[in-house]
């Protein structure tokens, strides 16, 4: 009897030992794969975060892998040596899905790193700036994802209503600047609370989303739109998203004033004076800025840049045929524009560095394939120097060398400049943040 028990226990221990061995070997194998991915990410300049990104507390992490599975961008996170680790950190777009999925709250969301700071305006937990009555929601405050922006726009309005609004027929209760995700949500919330409000947009409804190429898929998630209800969106096209917003606004008889750029906002006698580009002066008791971080497109400052054939965003690429096009830039926007234009045009992609860096994995694969199939021509280590009616001039890293190309259209994607001067003139404090943890509700 004792012998039988010893045999049974021995078998159990052996089986357990085998299971543990297999499990540990599997973990080690998985870690090696993650290590290899991290090494590739470092070589390609994708390992360091550039915007909002997850920070993992390894003392709390239980390596459940829920964060890895939840991330819709893929290969942003991995399990390394028994804990979570960042892989392609610069490709993170701040979904926050990993943050919500972690069962032990071992993940926080941060912007900037210990080495690289990010300029952010002062914003409280109620989305109010250091200037009483002036609020900021969405990308400008650091949270750029559509779902996050929608939530913040609505919450900012809820907070200012909660604080009370003194009625005065001579001024607006609220002026919302920007009609992107945060601005649209804030607009619907203002209507819900019966505010006397006005929404101004310098371009067209949708803000940054409107500037996406038509074929671009906007990744978002379920969200609540005031006066409209819960909307379940995942892989949604630009057209579908804009259609949804138009429906929500139309259903509630709301009109956005488009093509109205705000030049200046100044506190004045207990309210705000909002001045537009055409000189119109509007008064409001509260202002909500939902203008995004890109601000004004960054220009190159070269001869000919004011030409009508120069653009800083791509609209309706399907209507551009048989043109000689040069796209300037090496980020996701430039890559996506070049790929779309290459379908029906002769495209040259000019980039000042020797290789693309900090672009999404899918874009990296697509541009590599397009180059291999000679669908477009990449020109690395080049700078656009001059633009003329029918040609452009590029300079290369080689001293004194100049390249002249026949050209019909020029698209420049050199990023945007944070509207720091605009904000500081309004009194908003700007601080460079290093590894700043963003306040976010679970």
Which of 376, 394, 396 is CA-nearest to residue 385?
A: 394
For the segment 113-144, what is each residue's pLDDT rounded down to a tens digit?
777 777 788 888 889 999 999 999 987 776 66
Q: Give per-residue pLDDT as tens, 302-311.
A: 999 988 899 8
| DSSP result, 325-354 | EEEE--SHHHHHHHHHHTTTSEEEEEESSS
Higher pLDDT: 353 or 6? It is 353
- Which residue would you say has higher pLDDT here, 125 or 254? 254
Give CA–CA dist 354/348, Å, rounded. 15
What letter would DSSP give residue 144? -
For the chain, domains (ranges, CATH) are 2-111 (3.30.70.20), 119-295+418-437 (3.50.50.60), 297-415 (3.50.50.60)
User: pTM score, two decimals?
Assistant: 0.70
CB of 85 closer than 8 Å to CB of 48: no
pLDDT score, position 80: 77
User: What are the tens digits of pLDDT across the range 190-248?
Assistant: 999 999 999 999 877 776 666 665 555 565 567 888 998 888 776 677 778 888 888 99
Tokens describing residue 89: 């950190």
């Amino acid at each position: 009897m004792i012998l039988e028990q010893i045999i049974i226990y021995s078998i159990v221990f052996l089986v357990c030992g085998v299971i543990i061995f297999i499990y540990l070997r599997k973990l080690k194998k998985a870690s090696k794969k993650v290590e290899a991915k991290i090494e590739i990410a470092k070589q390609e300049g994708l390992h360091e975060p550039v915007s909002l990104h997850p920070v993992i507390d390894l003392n709390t992490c239980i390596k459940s892998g829920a964060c890895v599975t939840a991330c819709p961008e893929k290969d942003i996170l991995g399990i390394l040596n028994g804990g979570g680790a960042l892989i392609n950190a610069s490709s993170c777009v701040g979904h926050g899905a990993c943050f919500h999925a972690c069962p032990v709250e071992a993940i926080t969301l941060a912007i900037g790193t210990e080495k690289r700071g990010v300029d952010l305006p002062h914003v409280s937990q109620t989305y109010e700036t250091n200037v009483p009555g002036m609020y900021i929601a969405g990308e400008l405050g650091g949270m750029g994802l559509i779902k996050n922006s929608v939530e913040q726009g609505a919450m900012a309005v809820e907070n200012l209503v909660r604080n009370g609004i003194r009625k005065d027929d001579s001024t607006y209760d609220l002026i919302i600047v920007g009609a992107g995700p945060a601005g649209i949500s804030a607009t619907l919330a203002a209507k819900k609370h019966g505010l006397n409000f006005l929404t101004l947009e310098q371009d067209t409804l949708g803000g940054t989303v409107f500037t996406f190429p038509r074929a671009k898929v906007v990744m978002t998630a379920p969200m609540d739109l005031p006066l409209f209800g819960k909307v379940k969106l995942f892989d949604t096209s630009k057209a579908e998203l804009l259609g949804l917003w138009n429906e929500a606004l139309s259903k509630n008889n709301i009109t956005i004033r488009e093509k109205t750029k705000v030049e200046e906002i100044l506190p004045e006698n207990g309210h705000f004076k909002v001045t537009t580009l055409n000189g119109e002066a509007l008064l409001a008791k509260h202002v909500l800025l939902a203008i995004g971080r890109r601000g004004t497109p960054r220009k190159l400052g070269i001869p000919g840049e004011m030409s009508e054939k120069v653009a800083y965003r791509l609209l309706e690429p399907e209507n551009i045929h048989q043109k000689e096009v040069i796209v300037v830039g090496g980020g996701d926007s430039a890559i996506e524009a070049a790929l779309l234009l290459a379908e029906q045009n002769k495209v040259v992609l000019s980039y000042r560095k020797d290789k693309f860096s900090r672009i999404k994995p899918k874009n990296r694969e697509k541009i590599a394939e397009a180059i291999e199939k000679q669908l477009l021509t990449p020109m690395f280590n080049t700078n656009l120097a001059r633009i003329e009616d029918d040609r452009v001039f590029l300079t290369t890293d080689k001293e004194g060398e100049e390249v002249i190309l026949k050209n019909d259209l020029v698209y420049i994607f050199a990023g945007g400049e944070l509207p720091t001067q605009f904000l500081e003139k309004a009194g908003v404090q700007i601080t460079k943040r290093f590894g700043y943890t963003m306040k976010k509700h679970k």
